[in-house]
Amino acid sequence: MSDLSICVFCGAREGARPVYGAAADALGAGIAEAGWRLVYGAGDVGLMGRCARAAQAAGGDLLGVIPQHLVGLEARAGVTGTRVVTETMHERKKVMFMNCDAIALLPGGGGSLDELFEVLTWRQLGLHDKPVILIDVEGYWQPLIALLEHVVAEGFAGTDLSEGYRAVPDVAAALAALRAALPRRQDEAV
């Protein structure tokens, strides 16, 4: 089993299309099968819960991080693993980030966008160089990618913003991108 961890940001809802849930299932299983630990928001709802259940079913190690005010709303008894309860959402993001080697983004809403923008901003500021993978399930993230390109084109960010993430079309490509990026990081840690 590897000592590497992948933080997954994704929706606490299922979304409008079954393909989103299938992607969450595939990512959770793929993370576990690669021997990586899943770091996630500790909820057993939406894509977050599906990803965690799939990782657990595939024998994966899980670290869930949830703020106290969401414990009764999102965390149920269905998923096991290590759970950290934080006081705030800000603390949750920090604990998740500090306990991972890479970030993967599945479809999600405002919370997922908040999490993504925080890690992209930290990367722009030189605070980390962890891989950030946007899983563009059936084009879900295309409007966001266009916006990020627009921000750069209009001079409000440099290419460090667009170079701070990699968009891939599906979970298979995301797992391949993580495999390519993580051995380098593991070798550097030696």
- The pLDDT assigned to 190 comes to 43
d(CA 117, CA 97): 13
d(CA 49, CA 73): 12
pTM: 0.92
Which residue matches tokens 């299922």?
14
Asked whether the predicted pLDDT for residue 184 surpasses 60, the reply is no
Predicted confidence (pLDDT) per residue in 85-102, tens digit: 889 989 989 999 999 999
Which residue matches tokens 């149920």?
76
Domains of the chain: 5-189 (3.40.50.450)
Residues of the chain above pLDDT 70, percent: 92
Distance of CA 138 to the CA centre of its chain: 17
66 contacts 75 by C-beta, under 8 angstroms: yes
| Mean pLDDT of the chain, nearest integer | 91
- The pLDDT assigned to 75 comes to 62
